[in-house]
Structure 1
Amino acid sequence: MKCKIKLNGINDVKEFVNITFKAENDVDLICGKYYIDGKSIMGIFSLPLDQPIEMELADEDAKMLKNQLEKFIVN
């Protein structure tokens, strides 16, 4: 699954990482040419959080975590 997410500060990043840590597969955040581990707080803070970020995760993880991640997904 590919979608755009928006993280609005420290609390969003902490909550997002707590959710993605439950994923069995990789969660990638893509910003330009950079691929960041979506389970890494430090990695996420290296991204510009003032704009939406592309997220890629396995379909089985997307099904399992969709409800929890919904608040971060933007169109």
Structure 2
Amino acid sequence: MCEVQLMLNSIKKVNDFINIIKEYDGGFYIISGSYLLDAASVMDLFSLNLNEPILLAFQIPEKRDEILQRLEPFLCSSPQ
């Protein structure tokens, strides 16, 4: 499982992020406290405080590096 912190503090960033992850087969999740949210859901994302970094988790090992490169404009932390 790859986990990274993202900053999606504008509507444009949210839309750009969702457009990127929808291109991949596999699950992308936002971890918020004890909740696991669908990262591709606009409603789920806007239920969060987007002025704070959010934790994204995904497991697509064969595409990990490609995904991280495409998400680089949103990254706040190094991948784990």
TM over 0.5: yes
Equivalent in the alignment of 2:73 = 71
Instruction: Report the 3-state secondary structure (helix = DSSP H, G, I; strand = E; otherwise coil) of the residue aligned with 1:39.
Output: coil
What is residue 32 of structure 2 aligned with on the other side?
31
Structure 2 unmatched runs, 5+: none
Q: 1:35 to 1:67 in 2, by over 3 A?
A: same
Of stretches 43-52 and 63-72 in structure 1, the one that deviates more from structure 2 is: 63-72
The alignment status of 1:6 with 2:7, answered yes or no, reads: yes
Cα displacement (A) at 1:64: 2.9
Secondary structure, in 3 states, of the residue corresponding to 2:8?
A: coil
Measure the CA separation in 1 of the matches of 2:70 and 2:37.
20
SS state at 1:74 partner: coil
Dislocated runs of 4+, deviation >3 Å: none
Q: Cα deviation per residue 1:15-60 (whole Å; 9 max; x = unaligned)? A: 0000010121000011112211111111111111011111111133
Other structure's SS at 2:36 match? strand
Distance in 2 (CA, whole Å) between partners of 1:36 and 1:47 is 10
Q: Is the 8 A contact 1:8 1:50 kept in 2?
A: yes
The number of equivalent residue pairs is: 75
CA RMSD of aligned residues (A): 1.2
Mapped to 1, the partners of 2:4 and 2:41 lie a distance apart of 18
Q: Identity of aligned pairs, percent?
A: 31
